[in-house]
Amino acid sequence: MFLKSSMNCTVNDVLVAVTSAALSRYYFRKSGDTNTSKICLRSLLPVNTRPATSLQTYVNVIESDKRNEVTWGNKLGYIILSFYLAMHEDPLAYIRKAKKVLDRKKRSLEVILTYKIGLIFTKFFGVKVGTSIFRRLFARTTIVFSNMVGPAEQVELCGHPVAFLAPSVYGIPEVGNL
């Protein structure tokens, strides 16, 4: 939080920068190679394009018999971010680079276009083609970061409050027929 506040950036900017720094230092320490032109590391940041409103707002709309005005589910767009392997003397240079790239990507139409293109493919070619494209995107991604805010209300599972969820995946994705 200190870095986020002092560098005037988001937590995700810091997370991307720290990951980039760790991957860069690991690669250069293990290989000793300075030519990184053949290395392609990609990350994917899902972004919910739905405006941030509370669940209570939806409950109020449903109770007032305006159910047709409510659409459920996330509207996910994606930021596809290339990782650049580089050695910087100043550790804050990784954060400056990540902030610069992410700010440019956030201002672009990439998130909205990736959402709309996915929607169009699913509508015109069916769920099977839409799912295939989605799976190919994830199968060709090195790292997936979550850029979405969790629920504002307390969530319970079988009467027990859920503090956080920490999903992780290890190994090669099980993707068939790519």
- pLDDT tens digit at each of 178 positions of the chain: 677 788 888 888 888 888 888 888 888 888 887 777 778 788 888 887 776 655 556 666 666 666 566 666 667 888 888 888 888 888 889 999 989 998 898 888 998 898 898 889 889 998 888 888 888 888 888 888 876 666 667 778 888 888 777 766 666 555 544 4
Q: Are 44 and 78 in contact (CB under 8 A)?
A: yes
Alpha-helix runs per DSSP H in the chain: 2-7, 11-31, 55-63, 92-107, 110-125, 127-139
Q: Which amino acid is at 127?
A: V
Tokens 């988001």 sit on residue: 10
Domain residue ranges in the chain: 2-161
Sort 94 into a burial class: Cβ within 10 Å, 0-12 / 13-18 / 19+: buried
Tens of pLDDT, residue by residue over 25-52, are 888 888 887 777 778 788 888 887 776 6
Q: How far is CA 134 from the centre of its chain?
A: 14
Q: Which amino acid is at 115?
A: Y
Q: Are 17 and 98 in contact (CB under 8 A)?
A: yes
